[in-house]
Amino acid sequence: MNNPQDNPRTPPPPIPSNSSTPPLPSTSPKLRLKRVKILARKTVASGALRKKLKRVEQSGKKSGGSGSGEAAEGLVNLSTQGDEPGSSTEETLADLLKKAGSESDLQKDLAESKKKKLTKGKGKVTESQRLWRLRRWNKSIMRKFNQWSGEEVEDDSDSEQDKLSTFGKRKILKGRLLKDLVEQGMMRLVDALAAQGWKDMVLQMDDRLARNEIIKFMTNVEVQDGKVSSLMKGVQVSFEAEKLGEILDIPSEGFDDYTRQRWPCLDSLPTALEITRRFCDAEDVNEARAVQKSEMRPQHKVLFEFVNKCLFPRQERRHIANYMNLVLMECLESGRQINWPAFIIKLLDRVINGSKAHATPYGFILTTIMDRFNMPMKKWEMASSKDHFGINTLIVCDYLVSAIPNEPGSSKKTSINSKVRALVQECEAKDAEIARFKARVVEVESEMDALGTELTKENEKNDGILHNMLNLLQA
């Protein structure tokens, strides 16, 4: 079809008989072109074509293509619809729009623009953002639905990872394993543990630590109303003080008043001032206060080490016995029952629900608890020499020991006075052994002299008998 604008001499196309548009009069080309433009504006302003154009432009913007190209394509498609009023006018509009390019050229341009966009990598970013927004939208919808239905929202993807990394960075206070029980200081401690009913549990404590499982346990644990519960690896771990006592085979009754800022309840115990005077080894103290480890006697230092490392472990200020430590030491020394399971749960509650970041306590005990619940544990961490409570601890506590530790690295935690005292004890032991050997030598020499005298007498007696026998034979 020839365009009348391209060839002004060409007569206008015939108008169908069923068209409602009157035929255009024969005028000049400029006037005819002006009329065509006016009809084009009226056609674009019509309702159906305007809506179609708007939809095409919006789809072109969303797809990243050329909006004007697709709009032109839509106009071309509308102009090709037959048997409608004003068809001749729409054909003329299509002829005008063909100046920008044919339909195939517009499709090629659209395809090339999409390829360029994908080449730049913008398409992938848009797709990932679309997926991310879709996930966020789904989560928000599910959260609103769960809140409306009264169910809890289980959005633990970010919070659980944060808690896992938080507890993974914290130090685990393992506890201590007792050894060198023949030493006098250790025997006193074992007697105190036996009076509490803890001897078998402490001496039979496993020397393995499940670090990864403890971190996951602390990540999922909840402590509420004296009950500890945690779900991990499909195993539900839940216990109270009484059940924990059954798991560890220790009593779950007795003194359990946990406080950090004031003196605990002292029913049937000495006054706070008396306890302070006893453990600081001074009678001129006029008020109850915390006691430095250097002020204690050796036997009290051993009790403080057990309370500070095993019974009620803490990471900071380990050289100062606060009010809670002194009362627990008093209970150990006097034989009053302590509810250790209750203290374990209360300290876990402080670590989980407290405002400060505390170290994870009871490493060996938590491993034992998870083992009793048959929780699968793949990787173990064996205890080192630093995790033992033995001669090294006694030497640090200025306790007199009968042997010298042979463990590597033990001198790092031994004070100068303790080393000198140990060397003096070793020299005294060697001197006593030498004196014992000398006395034995003197005894052996005296025995040899006595044997020599008896041998001389026996020889003289034998000589007399032999002389008598010779005389009888000669006679």
Residue 142 CB partners (closer than 8 Å, separation 6+):
153
- What residues does 292 pair with on adjacent strands? 320
Do 266 and 394 share a domain, yes or no? yes
Answer yes or no: is 203 within a domain: yes
Do 435 and 341 share a domain, yes or no? no
Q: Dmax over Cα atoms in the chain, in whole Å?
A: 197
Do 151 and 187 share a domain, yes or no? no
Answer yes or no: is 328 within a domain: yes
The lowest-confidence range among 300-304, 314-318, 351-355, 452-456 is: 314-318
Q: Report pLDDT for 436.
A: 87
Do 425 and 397 share a domain, yes or no? no
CA dist 343 and 335 (Å) reads 17
Average pLDDT over residues 305-319: 85
Query: Tell me, what DSSP letter sits at residue 355?
Result: S
Do 186 and 318 share a domain, yes or no? yes
Average pLDDT over residues 42-61: 57
Q: Report pLDDT for 268.
A: 72
Do 89 and 220 share a domain, yes or no? no
Number of structural domains the chain divides into: 4
Q: What is the pLDDT of residues 218-267, one digit of tens each?
A: 888 899 989 999 888 788 889 999 999 999 999 999 988 887 666 776 66
The lowest-confidence range among 12-21, 284-293, 366-375 is: 12-21
Do 347 and 263 share a domain, yes or no? yes
Q: Please, where are the H alpha helices in 281-411?
A: 298-306, 323-334, 340-353, 363-372, 391-396
Q: What is the pLDDT of residues 81-113, one digit of tens each?
A: 444 444 444 445 556 555 545 555 656 666 666
Q: Report pLDDT for 54.
A: 64
Do 51 and 107 share a domain, yes or no? yes
DSSP code per residue over 18-47: T--SPPPP---HHHHHHHHHHHHHHHHHSH
Distances in whole angstroms, Cα of residue 65 to Cα of each of 38, 57, 62, 70:
29, 9, 8, 8
- What residues does 178 pair with on adjacent strands? 389
Q: Report pLDDT for 260.
A: 64
Q: Which residue has the higher pLDDT, 31 or 308?
A: 308
List the domain range (segments joined by +) for residue 146.
Answer: 122-155
Q: Report pLDDT for 19.
A: 45
Do 107 and 128 share a domain, yes or no? no
Answer yes or no: is 23 within a domain: no
Q: How many residues does the chain have?
A: 475
Answer yes or no: is 18 within a domain: no
Is the pLDDT assigned to residue 66 strictly greater than 60? Answer: no
Do 305 and 358 share a domain, yes or no? yes
The domain boundary residue, chosen from 349, 374, 401: 401
3-state class (DSSP) for residue 237:
strand
Answer yes or no: is 198 within a domain: yes
Answer yes or no: is 409 within a domain: no
Average pLDDT over residues 332-345: 93
Answer yes or no: is 205 within a domain: yes
Q: Would you say the pTM of this structure is higher than 0.85?
A: no
CB 247, CB 345: distance < 8 Å:
no
Do 198 and 228 share a domain, yes or no? yes
Answer yes or no: is 60 within a domain: yes
Do 316 and 447 share a domain, yes or no? no
The domain boundary residue, chosen from 347, 376, 401: 401
The domain boundary residue, chosen from 351, 367, 401: 401
Tokens of 40: 């084009």
Query: Residue 361: how many CB atoms within 10 A of its CB?
Result: 23
Question: Which of 111, 43, 54 is CA-nearest to residue 79?
Answer: 43
Q: Which residue has the higher pLDDT, 50 or 339?
A: 339
DSSP code per residue over 168-224: HHSPB----EE--TTSHHHHHHHHHHHHHT-HHHHHT---EE-HHHHHHHHHH-EEE
